[in-house]
Amino acid sequence: MNMTDKVLGVILGGGQGSRLAPLTQTRSKPAVPIGGKYRLVDIPISNCLNSGIHRMFVLTQFNSASLNKHIKNTYHFSHFSAAFVDILAAEQTPENPTWFQGTADAVRQTMHHLLNHEFEYALILSGDQLYQMDFNKMVQAHVEKGAEVSIATIPVTAKDATDFGILKVNEDSFITSFIEKPAAALLPDWSSDTGEEMHAEGRDYLASMGIYIFNRDLLVKILIDNPDEKDFGKEIIPRAMAHNKVLSFQYEGYWTDIGNISSFFEANLGLTDDIPKFNLFDSHQSIFTRARMLPPSKILGTTLNKAVIAEGCILQAAEISHAVIGIRSRIGIGTVIENVYVMGSDRYQTLTEIEEETAKQKPLIGIGDRCKIVNALVDKNCRIGNDVQIIGGDHLPDGDHPLYTVKDGIVVVKKGAVIPNGTVI
């Protein structure tokens, strides 16, 4: 039996995702579109599939309709294989009338579904991180060293260390101590030997990535014995460190936690770099998503620079630079787009519809003519009229408005917003 056949993947869908609002107003965090054609949940699922882990549950509770639809339409396996990706939404039962109270509580409440499957190791993943990782190596280290729990760790700099759980290990990589989000003054005591290459980059602290492997029996016992402990990072993991053999598995590739709008924006625009840190073009680490039967993109007279363009777009813009343009995007004549992620739209308008709406001077789905959009994130199905100016930047105060939100200088145009001709933001 292959080692990965003994692993069950559990992907945590996250809570309300309020730090990613307004992108999470109508959809759960794992369903947020990234890279113009994927969704966040495709990342952990693809990492599992590439690692030979073919059985996964996605745990979710908020706005899960679009996530359910995406997973149902995307992950089809042969009738003759044991592979599946299933959604477990929070359900009220006589024993448990409440919603999930945290990451550990979500696994505890869905445990009876997980235990219907044969597995020796549970791989617990977050649904909102961008990385490419071979879990095989982590599973192998876990088994070879006889660990009861393994935690994927990444070396970070002193500047980043204060945002993470930081840990210390012994010479066998077993974890000896752990501190959650240490104050800068405490850091000198928490540095680790992360290897020459990492030291050269000033990455001297081992941070937990929120990726865990648990032996099946221990996971069941620790969750059942401690019913009041709701969270892995804050409660269950520190408890395991005190009583069990917990291994650190050091990972040194690209990894980012997409916790807020600015990290989400940066991660997407990072895909336009000459050599992006997150490589969509690696055939061994493919990112899978729904196969859509879309036409190729059509570009008419547009100057493109550092642009990632998904399929099915019709672009007549004057200039698109440092931008990710999502599926079925339509951008009008003379428009300039710079530092923008346009998520695209879910459908094309018919010619009749276009004629009728143009006659009524109603903006069409997409971005109109002669617009200028800078430092912005345009959610799906927006209708931005002609001669609209949206200029984000540090000059704009944070705030939430009916059609858009401003966070860290980034203007987020809300899903389905209609921005009239001539609007200036």
Joined together, the tokens standing for residue 180 give 């959650």
**Segment holding 248, helix H or strand E:** strand 246-250
Classify the C-alpha dihedral 143-148-152-158 as positive or negative.
negative
Q: What local confidence, expressed as pLDDT, does residue 91 receive?
A: 66
Rounded CA-CA distance 215/143 in Å is 10
In angstroms, how far apart are the furthest CA atoms of the chain?
Answer: 73
**CATH topology (fold) of 292-419:** UDP N-Acetylglucosamine Acyltransferase; domain 1 (2.160.10)
Rounded CA-CA distance 410/262 in Å is 7
**Are 3-272 and 292-419 the same fold in CATH?**
no
Running DSSP on this structure, what letter comes out for residue 87? E
Q: What local confidence, expressed as pLDDT, does residue 92 receive?
A: 63
Q: What local confidence, expressed as pLDDT, does residue 84 receive?
A: 92
Rounded CA-CA distance 347/328 in Å is 7
Which residues, 6+ apart, have CB-to-CB distance to 116 below 8 Å? none
Residue 9 forms beta bridges with which residues?
56, 123
In this structure, the chain runs to a length of: 425
Residue 405 forms beta bridges with which residues?
400, 412
Residue 93: CB atoms within 10 A of its CB come to 9
DSSP state string for 295-321: PPPEE-S-EEEEEEE-TT-EE--SEEE
- pLDDT tens-digit series, residues 49-58: 999 999 999 9
Instruction: Give which of 112, 113, 132, 119 is closest to 54, Cα–Cα.
Output: 119
Phi-psi region of 232 (alpha: psi -120 to 50; beta: other; left: phi over 0): alpha
**CATH topology (fold) of 3-272:** Spore Coat Polysaccharide Biosynthesis Protein SpsA; Chain A (3.90.550)
DSSP state string for 342-395: E---SSPPPHHHHHHHHHTTPPPSEE-TT-EEEEEEE-TT-EE-TT-EEE-STT
Q: Identity (one letter) of the amino acid at 86?
A: D
SS3 state at 336: strand
pLDDT beneath 70: ranges in the chain: 1, 15-16, 91-98
Instruction: Give which of 207, 307, 303, 190 is closest to 248, Cα–Cα.
Output: 207
Residue 61 sits at the vertex; the CA angle it makes with 104 and 270, to the nearest 5 degrees, is: 85
In the chain, where the domains are located: 3-272, 292-419
Rounded CA-CA distance 331/388 in Å is 12
**Segment holding 155, helix H or strand E:** strand 149-156
Q: What local confidence, expressed as pLDDT, does residue 94 receive?
A: 63
Joined together, the tokens standing for residue 255 give 């990894």
Q: What local confidence, expressed as pLDDT, does residue 68 receive?
A: 86
SS3 state at 29: helix
Joined together, the tokens standing for residue 181 give 């989000």
Classify the C-alpha dihedral 268-270-273-276 as positive or negative.
negative
SS3 state at 215: strand
Q: Identity (one letter) of the amino acid at 207?
A: A
Rounded CA-CA distance 89/114 in Å is 13
Rounded CA-CA distance 23/26 in Å is 7
Q: What local confidence, expressed as pLDDT, does residue 333 receive?
A: 98
* Predicted model pTM: 0.94
Torsion angle defined by CA atoms of residues 278, 283, 289 and 290, in that order, rounded to the nearest 10 degrees: 150
